[in-house]
Amino acid sequence: EIIPGRDTSPETVNAAVALVQGLGKTPVVVQDCAGFLVNRILFPYLNEALHLLNEGMDFEYVDKCITNFGMPMGPFTLDDEVGLDTAYKAAKSVEHVYGARMQTLPFIGKLVEAGLLGKKSGKGFYIHEKGKKRVRNSDIEKIVGLGSKAMTKPDAQLIVDRLILPMVNEAVRCLEDKIIEKPEYLDMAMILGTGFPPFRGGLLRYADSRGLANVVGRLEELAQQYGERYRPAEMLREFASKQMTFYQN
> Distance between alpha carbon 43 and the CA centroid of its chain, in Å?
5
Task: Assess whether pLDDT exceeds 90 at residue 141.
Answer: no
Mean confidence (pLDDT) of the chain = 95
What domains are there in the chain, each with its CATH number? 1-30 (no CATH), 38-144 (1.10.1040.50), 156-241 (1.10.1040.50)
| Residues 203-248 pLDDT 10s | 999 999 999 999 999 999 999 999 999 999 999 999 999 999 999 8
Query: CB of 212 within 8 A of CB of 236?
Result: yes
Output the pLDDT for position 152. Answer: 83
H or E element, residue 12? helix 10-22
The Cα-based distances of 109 to 11, 63, 75, 87, 209 in angstroms read 43, 21, 17, 10, 38
Output the pLDDT for position 207. Answer: 98
Output the pLDDT for position 100. Answer: 85
- In DSSP terms, 57 is beta-bridged to 152
User: How confident is residue 151, by pLDDT bands cut at 50, 70 and 90?
Assistant: confident
Task: Assess whether pLDDT exceeds 80 at residue 249.
Answer: no
| Residues 26-52 pLDDT 10s | 999 999 999 999 999 999 999 999 999
| Residues 50-100 pLDDT 10s | 999 999 999 999 999 999 999 999 999 999 999 999 999 999 999 999 988
Output the pLDDT for position 150. Answer: 64
Max Cα distance, the chain (Å): 60
Output the pLDDT for position 148. Answer: 62
DSSP secondary-structure letter at 84?
H
Task: Assess whether pLDDT exceeds 90 at residue 143.
Answer: no
Rounded average pLDDT over 126-154: 86
